[in-house]
Amino acid sequence: MTSENLTGTLREKAVFVKAVEFGSLVKTARALGMEDSAAAKAINTLEAREKRKLLIRDPKGSRPTAEGWKAFNLWRGPIAELLGAMKGDDDASPWRTWQLNLAFPSTSGAAVLTPLVAEFALEHPEYDISIELTHGSFHPLWNGVDLRIVHGVYTLEPCRQAQIASLKRIVTANPKLLPRLFSGKEIEPEELLNEMLVGDRDMVQSGVMRLIRNSDGFEKRLRVEPRLKVRNHLAAMMTALANPVVAVAVPELLAKRWIDAGDLAPVLPGWRCRPLPLRAIIPQDRPVHPAIPGLLEHIVGRLRESGEAEDAAIPKSFAAFFEEEEK
């Protein structure tokens, strides 16, 4: 089917709905069998008729305005039914594809979250998913992001957020390069100060590493000043793999493959670092993307199965949580 099968306002609304779902006018034009310029003209005509801005277009793609989200939610059902009836029941139909834009922290996003998203995508072919790996914080609306997962608590802008997990963190080193730390005698946290430490920059900005004793929950605050500060847990671990240094407060889930291979080992097995919270944030001024509750529940379920994540404060149902947040 091409756009010629639709007339007037219906065609313009179909172009708009597909542009929101694809996140791209170019993809929309290809799917509807029309020129790029014709797709752009259809949006311009629709906005002029509606007397409101519906779609933001830039080199990175297209995304709806606040008014555009209202229009999308009003029109997507009827347009989907119309296109489905005209296209037929072809499961590979581009009409069934929704664009989902995600942003994750660079290390945990690459090593932990992206593989879990891939599992979700295999079960949900209706979603075309884009993942951006980032450093630091930015406004969740930037670049049309539907969902961002961050470390810690996000306070820069108003948004809806929910904790999805707390990653266990450890102190680790290469036992082959630092055998004195693995002689069989359990060392005390203060002995770490005799070693060169590699630490997460955000964690050590205060100069304090908080350790919890496994036997009784006693918390020790150790003043540390890592000589090498990084903002990437993987970089800290790779440094410890190749050098006689100690990586502090790295997520155990990220280190597991090297621990299992014997290339890294926990330096303080009787202690644990305070966990690293993972929080999901979504824009406050637009509806929740329909994929997000199911995706988050999949991620949380798999993290729980791994045994490397704690689940305090996690909502039982993300769908219910986001519905409550919208009220």
Task: Clarify whether residues 131 and 160 are in a common domain.
Answer: yes
Task: Give residue 202's pLDDT.
Answer: 56
Strands (E), 84-136: 98-105, 127-134
CA distance 27 to 23: 8
Q: Are residues 92 and 104 in the same domain?
A: no
Q: Quick one: 68 and 144 in the same domain? A: no
Say yes or no: 176 and 291 in one domain.
yes
Number of domains in the chain: 2
Torsion over CA: 236, 238, 243, 246 (sign) = positive
Q: Residue 322: its pLDDT value, please?
A: 67
Q: Which of 46, 64, 96 is the last residue of a domain?
A: 96
Does 87 share its domain with 179? no
Whether residue 203 is found in the same domain as residue 267: yes
State the pLDDT at residue 96. 46
In this predicted structure, what is the pLDDT of residue 323? 63
Q: Do residues 274 and 221 make contact, with C-beta atoms less than 8 angstroms apart? A: no
Record the tokens describing residue 101, joined without a space.
Answer: 């834009």
pLDDT recorded at residue 131: 92
What's the alpha-carbon Rg for the chain, to the nearest Å?
A: 24
Q: What pLDDT is recorded for position 326?
A: 56
Q: Indicate whether 217 and 91 sit together in one domain.
A: no
Q: State the alpha helices, DSSP H only, in 23-167.
A: 25-32, 36-50, 66-87, 106-108, 114-123
| Cα gap 60→57, rounded to integer Å | 8
Q: Which pLDDT does position 261 carry in this prediction?
A: 95
Range of 191's domain? 100-327
What CATH number is associated with residue 252?
A: 3.40.190.290
23: Cβ contacts below 8 Å, ≥ 6 apart: 61, 62, 63, 99, 101, 128, 130, 144
- Which residues in the chain land under pLDDT 70? 1-8, 81-97, 136-143, 201-206, 285-286, 308-317, 319-327
> Are 177 and 267 members of one domain?
yes
DSSP tally for the chain: helices H, then strands E: 11, 14
Question: Tell me, what's the pLDDT at 185?
Answer: 85
Are the beta carbons of 10 and 117 closer than 8 angstroms?
Answer: no
315 neighbors 300 (Cβ within 8 angstroms): no
Note whether 109 and 155 are same-domain residues. Answer: yes
Task: Give the pLDDT of residue 258.
Answer: 94
pTM over 0.85: no
| Predicted pLDDT at 216 | 93
